[in-house]
Structure 1
Amino acid sequence: MLKNILKRNFMFKKCLSVLLTAFLVCGMFSGCNQKDENTVVIYSSSEDFRNEYITEQLKERFPEYHIRLLYLPTGKNAAKVKSEGKNSKADIILGLETGYLTSIQEHLADLSEYDTSNYLEDMIPRNHKYLGWDRYSGSIIINPKMMEEKNLPVPKSYEDLLDPVYKDLICMPNPKASSTGYMFLKNLCNAWGEDKAFDYFDKLAENIYQFTSSGSGPVNALVQGEAAIGLGMTFQAVEQINKGVPLEILYFEEGSPYSTGGMAVIDGRLENKAVKDVFDFLANTIVYKDKENFCPEQIFKDQVNSTPNYPQHIPYADMSGLENLNDKTRLLEKWRF
C-alpha cells in the first residue's frame, strides 16, 4: 500500500513538473497567444531567398527586437489574417497580392500618414490600407537550344502555340494553384473576352507538357530540358539567364501579364514602437533594396532597373479587374484542368 502511495505521489510530481515546464516555455516564446512589446511577427508571402535577406537586414538593424518572419502562401496568408482578424498573431503583412489585401482591409491599419508621392499612380491604393511592395510580370520564355535541336519555329503569337509541333513541349502554371497562372488567364480574358480565352486554353492543353502547381514550375522545366516553351515569371527567367542558362524572353501582342503585392499593418499595431520601427524600415529602406536585388520591375517613379539582361520597357498588359477576388473565383470555377 505504501508503495502505491509513493508511486502516485511520484506521478503527481512528474505531471506537475511537465505542466510547469510547459508554462515556462509558453512564457519564454511567442508561440503562445501573448508576446512582449519588443516582439514583431511578420506574415510574408515573398519567396524564401527574399525573406532570408529581409530577416538578416531587420535583425542587423534592430538587435533589440525579437523579429519573427513566417512564410505563408498567398491564399493561406489572407485566410489566416481573415480568421484571426484584429487579434492576429501577425503585426505586419508582407508581399501579399493586392487583391487579397483589399479583401482583408477591415483588419488593416490606415497608412495615410505614409508618403506615397514616389510611387507610380497604379501602385497607390485608394483605401490607404497598404503600401506597394512589388510588381512581377510574366512572359513567354523559350529554350533556344532545345528549339533548335527539335527544329521548332520560334512562336510569334499565342495562336502559334497551338501548332501541333509543340505538343508536350509547353509548360504553364495551373491558374487554380498559382497566381502566375491566373495572370495569364486574366490577361487573355481581358484581351479577347472570356469565351475566346477559355476556348483557347482548351486547345492549348493539347500541347501542354504540364500544368505546374507553382509559378516557378515552367522556368524549372525549361532549365531541366523538360519543356521548350514556358509561360512563366520574368524575374525567374532573368535569374537563370544571369547564371548562364540559355533562355530567351518573348512578348506577344497582348502584352506582359503582371500582378502587384503590398505590405500592411494589422489595425492597432502601429501604436507599438517596435512594430512601427520595423514597418518604417521596410517602407523606407527594405522595399528599395528588394527592388535592387531581387524583383526590379518598376513601382517607383525614380526607380532604375540595373539588373543585367532584364527586359527594358516591358509592354505591360491590361490587367483590369485583377484585384477582384469574386471575379477570380468565378473564372477559376470555369477552368477545367
Structure 2
Amino acid sequence: MNLKKISALGLSALLAFSAVGCGSNKSSKEKEITVYTSIESEYIPAYIELFNKKHPDIKLNIIRDSTGVITAKLLAEKDNPQADVIWGLAASSCLILDDEQVLAEYKPKGIEKIDKRFIDTKNSTPHWVGTSLWFGVISANIEEGKTKNITAPESFADLIKPEYKGQIVMPNPGSSGTGYLLVSSWIRSMGEESAWKFMDDIHKNMKSYVHSGSAPTKSTATGEQFLGLGMDFESLKLQKNNPQLKTIFTKEDFGWDSEVNALVNKKEIKDDSKIFLDWAISPEAMEAYSINRGLITQEGVNSKVEGYPENVKDRLIKLDLSWMAENRTRIINEWTKRYGSSSK
C-alpha cells in the first residue's frame, strides 16, 4: 500500500488515535508521543484502547504505512527524527535503521520473558525487541479453482506450472515486508542463481505485484484471482469466515521475520516513549497480539489463531536477519529491475 492510497485512511486514523488522552491536565508536549508502525490498520484501534485504559493521560499520534514506506521515512528523517517510537516493524528493517543510528538503546520492563532469539544481541543494551513473527503462505480460492478446473498447489515450486498463468498475486518486496520475506527466503533456501531463475519462471504466471502484504490474501478471498502469496495469520483469520479460502502451508520450510519495537534515537527522549515500549511487551499487550498473530515471542502466550500445523515452529528455516538487512537494497534493486514494471 503506498502513501497516496492510504492518505485518507491515514489522516482519519491519525485523528482518531491522536484524540486519546486529550483530557490530561499536563502539557501535550510532556504527554504526547508519535508512533510509527506497519501493524495492519484494522488491528490498531483495539490495541490503542488497551493502552489508553492503563495510560489515559498519554496522547498517541499513530503513523501507519507498509514496512518499506515506514523504513524509508525513518531513514529520510534520521537527522531530524519525527517519531518517538517504532512499533511492530520488521526486524530486518530495524537492523538497517540501527546501522544508520536511527535506534536508541532501551531495555523495556518484562524483557526477561521474551524469547532471546527475538531480542537484539548486537548491542550490550537492546535496540529492539520482538513481539511476534510471521511467515509466508499461499492462499487459494477453492471455488475459483473449481470454476477454472485448477487444483491448488502444494508448494512454492508448484507455482511455475502453466495452469497458474495470470492467477497469482504477491506483495512487492520494495514496499512490503512480507514481499521481501518471501523473496529473501527463496534466495536463502535455493541459492541466488536458482532463486532468480525460479522468480523469472513465477513472474510469467503473475497477475500482478501489489504494495500491501495483506492485499493478495484479501483479493484472493473475494475471488479476484485463484492464488495469493501472503502472511500466515492473515490467511487463517480470513479463512475462518470465508470457507472458499484455503491456507496452504507449503512443503518447503518457512522463511520468517519478526515484528519488533524500538526507541527512536533523538536529542530529547520522552519518558512516555519508554512507558509505551514497556506496555508494548506486557502480558496484556502480548495477549492482544495473540488474537491476530500466529507466533508470539513471550513465553507462555499462545496464539488464538486456529489452523496451524502442530510442528510449525520446527519448520521455520534457520534465518540470518543480519543477512536480510545487509542485502535488502541489492535484492530489491535487482527484483525491481526484473519485475518492477508489473507492480501496481
TM range (shorter): 0.7 to 0.9
How far is 1:321 from its partner?
A: 4.3
Q: 1:36 aligns with which of 22, 29, 36?
A: 29
Tell me the amino acid that sits aligned with residue 103 of structure 2. Answer: L
Task: Give the direction of change, closer, same or farther, for the CA distance of 1:76–1:178 in structure 2 (3 Å limit).
Answer: closer
- Is there any run of 5+ residues in structure 1 with no aligned partner, and where? 1-28
- 2: CA distance, partners of 1:232 / 1:37: 40
User: For the residues of structure 2 that align with 1:152 and 1:79, how far apart are their CA atoms?
Assistant: 40
| CA displacement, residues 255-311 of structure 1 (integer Å, 9 cap, x when unaligned) | 122211211123478964433333222221453133222113132232222323344
Structure 2 counterpart of 1:259, one-letter code:
D
**Counterpart contact for 1:82–1:104, Cα < 8 Å:** yes
Q: CA deviation at 1:135?
A: 0.9
**Matches of 2:108 and 2:279, distance apart in 1:** 15
Instruction: Indicate whether 1:65 and 2:63 are aligned.
Output: no
Q: TM-score with structure 1 length normalisation?
A: 0.81
SS at match of 1:331: helix
| Contact 1:242–1:309 (CA under 8 A) maintained in structure 2 | no
1:97 aligns with 2:90: yes
Identity %: 23
Output the CA distance in 2 between the equivalents of 1:55 and 1:295.
17
- Structure 1 residue 113: Cα displacement: 6.0
Q: Distance in 2 between matches of 1:113 and 1:47?
A: 23
Could you say if the C-alpha distance between residues 241 and 271 of structure 1 is closer, same or farther in structure 2, counting changes exceeding 3 Å?
Answer: same
Query: RMSD of the TM alignment (CA)?
Result: 2.6
**Corresponding residue of 2:116:** 121
Distance 1:322 1:145, change over 3 A: farther
Asked if the contact 1:42–1:69 (Cα under 8 Å) also holds between the matched residues in 2, the reply is: yes
C-alpha contact 1:58 1:67 (8 A) present in aligned 2: no
Which residue identity is paired with 1:185? V
Instruction: Summarize the Cα distance change of 1:124–1:270 in structure 2 as closer, same or farther, 3 Å threshold.
Output: farther
Structure-2 change in CA distance of 1:75 and 1:167 (3 Å): closer
Larger radius of gyration: 1
3-state SS in 1 of match to 2:300: coil
Equivalent residue in structure 2 for 1:227, among 221, 225, 228: 225
- How many Å apart are 1:317 and its aligned residue? 2.8
Q: Which structure 2 residues correspond to residues 13-32 of structure 1 after superposition, within 5 A?
A: none
> By how many angstroms is 1:235 displaced?
1.2
Distance in 2 separating the partners of 1:50 and 1:166? 32
Paired residues of 2:290 and 2:296 also in contact (CA < 8 A): no
Contact 1:44/1:72 (8 A) holds in 2? yes
Contact in 2 for aligned 1:38/1:64 (Cα 8 Å): yes
Q: Is the Cα–Cα contact under 8 Å of residues 71 and 97 in structure 2 kept in the other structure? A: yes
Counterpart contact for 2:108–2:278, Cα < 8 Å: no
Counterparts of 1:159-238 in structure 2, within 5 Å, are 159-238=157-236
SS in 2 for 1:93: strand
Amino acid at match of 2:325: L
Distance 1:253 1:310 in 2: 14
Check conservation: 1:55, 1:69, Cα contact below 8 A. Answer: no
* Rounded Cα–Cα distance in structure 1 between residues aligned with 2:311 and 2:268: 37
8 Å contact 1:190–1:318 — kept in the other structure?
no
Deviation digits for residues 160-197 of structure 1 (CA, Å, limit 9, x no counterpart): 22221222112222223322122111111111111111
Compute the TM-score of the two structures, normalised by the length of structure 2.
Answer: 0.79
Residues 72-126 of structure 1 deviation map (CA, whole Å, 9 limit, x = unaligned):
4323333333344475232211111112222233243322464433222321211
Q: Name the CA shift for 1:84/1:151 in 2 (closer, same or farther; >3 Å).
A: closer
Query: Is contact 2:171-2:216 (8 Å) kept?
Result: yes
1:110 matched to 2:98:
no
Contact 1:139-1:257 within 8 A present in 2 as well: no
CA distance in 1 between partners of 2:111 and 2:54 (Å)? 23
State the match for 2:68 in structure 1. Answer: 75
Cα 1:269–1:293, aligned 2, differ >3 Å: closer, same or farther?
farther
Aligned to 1:88: 81
CA separation of 1:272 and 1:172: change in aligned 2, threshold 3 A: closer
Find the residue that maps to 1:263 and give its secondary structure.
strand
In structure 2, list runs of 5 or more residues that go unmatched. Answer: 1-21, 340-344
